[in-house]
Structure 1
Amino acid sequence: MRGHCLCGTIRYEVTPPVLSCVTCHCDSCRRQCAAPMTTYFGVRDGQWRWTGDEPKTFASSPGVTRSFCSDCGTPISFRSQSMSDVLHLYVATLDDPNQLEPTLHVAHEEKLHWLKLGDGLPTCTGPDYTKVQPLP
């Protein structure tokens, strides 16, 4: 699996398996991605690598570091101290974003009231990764 930022400066490769793929509604993800929600997938360290330039990082909140391209601004990933051996990459940065589908909505309590979901996926409060179903 490969992905990149809008301008192509930041590039990465991932070796499956992917741990999870979820849609997040938290304020931090919405603000970083300038979207009402975002979908990301998690991979363990050692299963991914930068193949272009490395992204710039920003400590967005206690225990969370987010990365982005310093040239075009594309959000690339985030890492949480609570899952320190996992990098979460944004599905929209994949060369083929259709290869992954989310299995859960996290931080559902922060969902924008005007956003109507009709996908039938389960929801949870906060980033409760205990409810994340492993991908096949």
Structure 2
Amino acid sequence: MKTIKMEVTGGCQCGAVRYHTDRMLDNAHLCHCRMCQKAMGNIFAALAATPNGALKWTRGEPAVFQSSDFAERGFCAQCGTPLFYNSLDNDRINLTIGSMDHPEDFPPHNQMGTQSRVSWFANIAALEEADFPEDTAMKAANRQHPDHDTQEWPPKRS
């Protein structure tokens, strides 16, 4: 597995937990196993690893659930955002691609746990695209942390 020198930041939806790394491994992948489905509350986990020593928590720290004798999963205790999967027997931590500020930088190279892949997964690309109105009221009420580091969060409201 190749190590790539690059700056990666990310964090949870509410901004209570943020992270930074300057190295990533070339292992972006999807996991369809039932444990990942449950942990993500979704049909798969999208993950990419960084070496353990390279990851720094820059705001707050994640809560951790040991999901098996072999692995633990990190998440924000305030908003519930899944942040990582960590195999306890290696020297890397797999960050959730969706928690990264630039998830588009990590297209998956492979998938695993396919015995639990939902039957309709293969048809996702063919789904009809529905309109999603982004009205002014929704934007004004948004409490989601932006996709970049901030000095202070949440912002002071006037």
TM-score range with shorter-chain normalisation?
Answer: 0.7 to 0.9
- Would the aligned equivalents of 2:24 and 2:48 in 1 still touch at CA under 8 Å? no
Q: Which residue of 2 aligns with 1:115?
A: 121
Q: Distance in 2 between matches of 1:20 and 1:111?
A: 19
Residue number among 80, 92, 95 corresponding to 2:98 in the alignment: 92
C-alpha displacement of 1:9: 0.6
Larger radius of gyration: 2
TM-score in terms of structure 1 length: 0.81
Which amino acid in 2 is paired with 1:22? H
Q: Which residue of 2 aligns with 1:25?
A: 32
C-alpha displacement of 1:117: 6.0
Which amino acid in 1 is paired with 2:82? P
Residue number among 3, 6, 18 corresponding to 2:10 in the alignment: 3
* Structure 1 residues 88 and 110: alpha-carbon distance in aligned structure 2, compared to 1, 3 A threshold: same
Aligned residues: 118
Q: Distance in 2 between matches of 1:117 and 1:81?
A: 34
C-alpha displacement of 1:112: 1.0
Identity rate, percent: 27
1:81 and 2:68 correspond: no
Q: Distance in 2 between matches of 1:41 and 1:17?
A: 7
Residue number among 37, 41, 47 corresponding to 2:44 in the alignment: 37
Q: Distance in 2 between matches of 1:77 and 1:14?
A: 13
How large is the RMSD of aligned CA atoms in angstroms?
1.5
Q: Distance in 2 between matches of 1:7 and 1:67?
A: 15
Which amino acid in 2 is paired with 1:81? L
Stretches of structure 2 lacking an aligned partner (at least 5 in a row): 1-7, 126-158
* Structure 1 residues 30 and 52: alpha-carbon distance in aligned structure 2, compared to 1, 3 A threshold: same
* Structure 1 residues 117 and 48: alpha-carbon distance in aligned structure 2, compared to 1, 3 A threshold: farther
